[in-house]
């Protein structure tokens, strides 16, 4: 362990990052800025070429920063896993999606570990950052790495440190978001903690990899369950003819015992719609049903349909059928001011309206085009003429660039899923809020 500790402390260790997406690239940049030589490994040749050209494809990472680190010789990328021979620490930042059955798909983790096994060498640290079910690090990764004959905690080191990336968050970044770490052995924890302390402001050690894996699932299950609760409250308020947003804002004035969450068109992104199901799946293997998780998932996944019903009801009030109606979707990204459509509820709203025969178009300042089935759709230019030609406008993603009073003023029907029309709605217009 001492040779690797000395390398890390002197910033002579070569840091490897497998997976250069929304998690991996920001992490690579932080280690490079801290003074380490960083090698990014990804099977996507376009990502590798972009980094080696000094260009960023991640919204939160400026190209100028990538170019500067590339020129300084502290950041490079490759598709060749044999680079692991000369790498001292490896952080695995690959996707962990769900299968259609909502079972975990850790095939990307397994593929990365298979490559690491080929080049595992003494005094090498392996850290899994990809979200997964509790037990993955010990039961899957350790099992494979141990087949090399090297001993964990003595010859190589293994830890889990959940990513906590929040795309578009200007306040909390990879560097200043506390980093939870759990090691397979005390030595594993010590060396992993030492590494991340070089680039991250605060490191939070826990006693095991399973605890660290559970931390991430608790964080996002907490959010999923509370969002599910407030979405159901919004439906209840609608039936009671009560303004849900007013109720939430009033409740939020309580200085203790209440944390406000807000209703919306559904969940999106790479964490909250997915991570709780990893925990629910694991509990099924232990003959336990995660009832809160399943109920919250059911409510949250039903919200796009609820939005469509709201739009249909508003059209009916104007003696319009959804079939043949011209409908504009505002915002395709899964949340405001980012260029990410993963699991976006807007895609579900789009599909549902399309199936009902609506004539659809969309606008999003961050998503110039997206594909749905065999079709590719392009963002239309906003204009008063366009808005006035639409039978209905559905606001799904509340980008800060939108001029909401102007949008409402030129819309015949405006369906507001984010409470952006509070205080600005023209009484002559049909404005529908969740």
Give the position of tokens 């960083």. 38
Contact 276, 221 (CB under 8 A): yes
Of 260, 267, 319, 334, residue with least CA distance to 298? 267
Assess contact for 413 and 315: CB atoms under 8 A. Answer: yes
Question: What is the C-alpha to C-alpha distance for residues 181 and 132, in angstroms, rounded to an integer?
Answer: 14
Helix (H) or strand (E) holding 401: none
Distance, CA of 406 to CA of 415 (rounded, Å) = 14
Strands 75-78 and 37-41: parallel
Residues 6+ apart with CB under 8 A from 2: none
Integer Cα distance of 48 and 20 in angstroms? 8
Which sequence positions are flagged as catalytic?
271
Q: Which residues, in sequence order, are CB contacts of 171 under 8 Å at separation 6+?
A: none
Q: Are 131 and 214 in contact (CB under 8 A)?
A: no
Q: Kindly report the length of the chain.
A: 434
d(CA 362, CA 368): 10
Tokens of 29: 């940049």
| Ranges assigned E (strand) in 33-141 | 37-41, 75-78, 89-92, 124-128
Q: Residue with structure tokens 């021979």?
A: 85
57 vs 66: CA distance, rounded Å = 10
């Amino acid at each position: 362990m001492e040779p690797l500790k000395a390398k890390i402390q002197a910033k002579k260790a070569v840091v490897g990052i497998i997976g250069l997406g929304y998690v991996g690239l920001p992490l690579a940049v932080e280690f490079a800025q801290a003074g380490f030589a960083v090698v990014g490994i990804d099977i996507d040749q376009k990502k590798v070429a972009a980094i080696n050209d000094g260009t960023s494809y991640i919204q939160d990472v400026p190209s100028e920063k990538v170019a500067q680190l590339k020129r300084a010789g502290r950041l490079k990328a490759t598709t060749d896993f044999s680079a692991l021979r000369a790498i001292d620490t490896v952080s695995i930042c690959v996707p962990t999606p769900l299968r259609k059955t909502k079972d975990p798909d850790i095939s990307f983790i397994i593929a990365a570990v298979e490559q690491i096994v080929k080049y595992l060498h003494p005094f090498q640290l392996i850290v899994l950052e990809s979200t997964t079910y509790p037990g993955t690090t010990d039961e899957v990764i350790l099992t494979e790495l141990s087949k090399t004959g090297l001993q964990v905690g003595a010859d190589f080191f293994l830890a889990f440190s959940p990513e906590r990336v929040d795309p578009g968050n200007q306040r909390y970044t990879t560097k200043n978001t506390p980093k939870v770490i759990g090691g397979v052995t005390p030595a594993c924890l010590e060396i992993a903690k030492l590494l991340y302390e070089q680039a991250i402001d605060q490191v939070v050690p826990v006693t095991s990899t399973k605890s660290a894996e559970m931390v991430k699932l608790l964080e996002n299950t907490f959010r999923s369950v509370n969002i599910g609760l407030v979405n159901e409250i919004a439906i209840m308020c609608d039936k009671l003819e009560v303004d849900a947003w007013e109720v939430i804002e009033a409740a939020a004035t309580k200085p203790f015992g209440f944390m406000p969450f807000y209703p919306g068109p559904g969940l999106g992104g790479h964490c909250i719609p997915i991570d709780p199901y990893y925990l629910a799946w694991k509990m099924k293997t232990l003959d336990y049903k995660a009832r809160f998780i399943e109920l919250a998932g059911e409510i949250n996944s039903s919200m796009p349909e609820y939005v469509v019903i709201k739009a249909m009801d508003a059209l009916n009030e104007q003696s319009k059928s959804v079939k043949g109606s011209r409908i504009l979707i505002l915002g395709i990204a899964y949340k405001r001011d980012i260029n990410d459509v993963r699991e976006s509820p807007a895609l579900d709203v789009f599909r549902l309206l399309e199936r009902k025969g609506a004539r659809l178009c969309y606008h999003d300042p961050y998503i110039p085009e997206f594909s749905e089935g065999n079709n590719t759709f392009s963002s239309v230019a906003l204009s008063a003429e366009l808005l006035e030609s639409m039978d209905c406008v559905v606001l799904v993603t509340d980008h800060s660039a939108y001029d909401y009073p102007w949008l409402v003023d030129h819309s015949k029907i405006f369906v507001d899923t984010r409470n952006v029309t509070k205080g600005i709605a023209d009484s002559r217009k049909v404005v529908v809020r969740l």
